[in-house]
Chain A
Amino acid sequence: MSMAEAIIVTIIVASTPLLLAALGELVAERSGVLNLGVEGMMIMGAVAGFIATYETGQPVVGIVAAILAGMLMASLFAFVTLVLVANQVASGLALTLLGIGFSALIGESYANKPGIKLAQIRIPGLSDIPFIGPIVFGQDPLVYVTIALVIGVSYVMFRTRAGLILRAVGDNHVSAHALGYGVVRVRFLAVLFGGACAGLAGAYLSLVSTSQWLDNMTAGRGWIALALVVFATWLPWRLAIGAVLFGAVGILQFHAQALGIRVPAQFLSALPYLITIVVLVLISGNRMLMRSNTPAMLGQSFVPDR
């Protein structure tokens, strides 16, 4: 593999979990719910995916377990914020703290154990094409699932009735309620979808990126996914661009030496977080861009009048 090929492949591996988690959060936010617990759902997905795969030897079981773990965490958040109308910001933080603690507790005895890596797809013939082959036809299956999800979410959100209802609930829950749509039900489902995506993103980290379980291994990726949603101004296809950009910054530290960049390692590790701040400032400084797509009810609780 050439240097360029290696860099492109690592960018894809670094971007996929960001894109997955951000896509789920985007759907939840479009319904008007700000779930700051992405990091917590993601790390629970990572630990559940690793343990289930380790115990059964089947990565597919691990992936299902990760999705379920993410959804379980999401349902906890949804119950507290949607049914009991608790503050969404604080509840999201609680979800993250709980997820980091709980994953460390149940994953403790699995740390440093050899995991099973999800196999890459090989299509005879196509995967052997120089350069294009390994990049386009030789990724792990979750990369293709992620791409399909981005297209699917884009389609459902802007071309179907279900998507219209989702956005209506996110933009004006009082009107949506008056029209007879179940605001809480729609939001609950959107949050669950977000949890499933975050769980899958976590499994990607422990089954593809590293194939091992490490305490706190998400390392802020859930928060970067949240920033990505703002970066994308709540449009799915822009998420993909953002994820590749952030993924590229994230892997810079691994290629910096080969590229002849000589700065302290800690600076390169801090770079993704600094870039995130810069990008957030650039995007949010542009009022037009922000106002057009931000869900109007984002973060606001809804209690129907009776």
Chain B
Amino acid sequence: MRIELIRRPERSKAMAWLSPVIAVVLTLVAGALIFAASGIDPLQGLYVYFLEPLTLPFTLSELVVKAIPIIIVAVGLALCYLSNNWNIGAEGQLTVGAIVGSLLPILAPDFQNVLTLPLMLLLGIIGGALYASIPALLKTRFGTNEILTSLMLVYVATYLLDWLVRGPLRDPQGYGFPGSRTFTDFQVMPTLIAGTRVHLGLILVLVAVAGAWFVLRRTITGFAISTLGQAPRAGAFAGFSQKRMTLLVFLISGGLAGLAGIAEVAGPVGKLDVVISPGYGFTAIIVAFLGRLNPVAIVVAGLVLALSYIGGERAQIVLGMSSQTGRVFQGLLLFFVLACDTFILYRVRWVKPVHAAVAARPAE
């Protein structure tokens, strides 16, 4: 028995919708197996992990809080991946955005007026965009692989943050603990829904999603993004510059990652801390693919992945599950999404080798 792929005459619309759903179901099945292997009743495990958080007001609002940075980053990454540019260093751009945006409230704590937060957000965007321009420029100027450089810069950013919050930017009144002074008043993201931690970032999500959708569907830039991604030669003949596109999508995705970073620091985290993100920049990669690189679908995908964080925390408290389970689910989910995507372009046929001579033909 072996698998043979047969190209469909055209993309299967049904599979394009079904594939993420199948991937989520497969992840749930794998989750049940993991629960069973850990000695937890699979049904109870799945309920606590994936359903209960959707029924409680507190966890529901926390779901939105977690989804905010993930979706903002994922929207930018989708533009990158659509144009065949592989920025996987969003986590680093998020970190640098948070650092640069925090410079204002830390260095000028008395600068308190309505302009404070907008300036912080702007600085965050600039910081993230500039940090993302490094792998982009290295790619366009020297042909250096952007996958490796953008990832290496994540480690560099993490150490930079660690040094800053233990050294130059540490709170002088912090009793020697790492971390900057806590942001106050005009330096923090206003809460949108009283009694929850849902903050202004929710509006930023909507703006980012709508903006990306508009760019992709209604502008020549959006057309250039998908053309250069799917048919680089055709794009070149159309006069689209590959290099300018690389720079553009890196600046956009870096800027959005930086925005997510400063929104986290000025929002739920409240100060520049040693740890400001539990891997949102990497989770966003999964979200971008689960959302089929479509800005609107990414919102749904972002909520699903946020659930893997919230459910993980719940399962840890209620069932004593390892806090690492969520990361396993995330990895599995991306694998299943990628595998299921095959069926959009191909049909699968099981082939039985009929004859030894036939079977010995050049294998698949």
Q: Does B175 contact A (CB under 8 A)?
A: no
Task: Find out whether the CB atom of A100 lies under 8 angstroms from the CB atom of B327.
Answer: yes
> Contact check: which of B34, B147, B331, B342 meets A86 at CB < 8 Å?
B342
Instruction: Specify which chain B residues have a CB less than 8 angstroms from the CB of A100 in the assembled complex.
Output: 327, 331
Residue of A nearest to B3 (CB): A83
Chain B residues near A220 (CB, 8 Å)? 151-152, 155
Q: B226 at interface (Cβ–Cβ under 8 A)?
A: no
- State in angstroms the CA–CA spacing of A225 and B166 once bound together: 30
A281 CB-CB contact with B under 8 Å: yes
Q: A108-B324, A276-B148, A277-B152 given as contacts; is B163 within 8 A of A182 (CB)? A: no
Minimum CB–CB distance from B3 to chain A (whole Å) comes to 6
- A160: interface (CB < 8 Å): no
Residue total for A at the interface (Cβ-Cβ under 8 A): 55
Q: Is B289 an interface residue (CB 8 A)?
A: yes
Contacts of B153 in A (CB 8 A): 273, 277
Judge whether B109 is part of the interface by a CB distance below 8 angstroms: no
User: B286: CB under 8 A from chain A?
Assistant: yes
B277 at the interface (CB under 8 A from A): no
Name which of A58-66, A119-127, A200-208, A263-271 contacts chain B.
A263-271
A132 at interface (Cβ–Cβ under 8 A)? no
Contacts of A94 in B (CB 8 A): 286, 331, 334-335, 338
The distance from the CB of A250 to the nearest CB of chain B, in whole angstroms, is 12
Say yes or no: B156 contacts A274, CB within 8 Å: yes
Segment at the A interface, from B100-108, B110-118, B138-146, B196-204: B138-146
Stretch at the interface among A8-16, A139-147, A148-156, A284-292: A284-292
Contact status of A102 and B328, CB under 8 A, knowing A86-B338, A86-B341, A97-B334? yes
- The answer to whether B214 has its CB under 8 Å from any CB of chain A is no
Most buried by A among B3, B156, B342, B346: B156
Q: Which residues of A contact B (CB under 8 A)?
A: 36, 40, 76, 80, 83-87, 89-91, 93-95, 97-102, 104-105, 108, 177, 180-185, 219-220, 223, 226-227, 230, 264, 266-267, 269-270, 273-274, 276-277, 280-281, 284-285, 287, 290, 303-304, 306
Chain B interfacial positions (CB closer than 8 Å to A): 3-7, 34, 86, 88, 138, 142-145, 147-149, 151-153, 155-156, 159-160, 162-163, 166-167, 282, 285-286, 289, 322, 324-332, 334-335, 338-339, 341-342, 346, 361-364
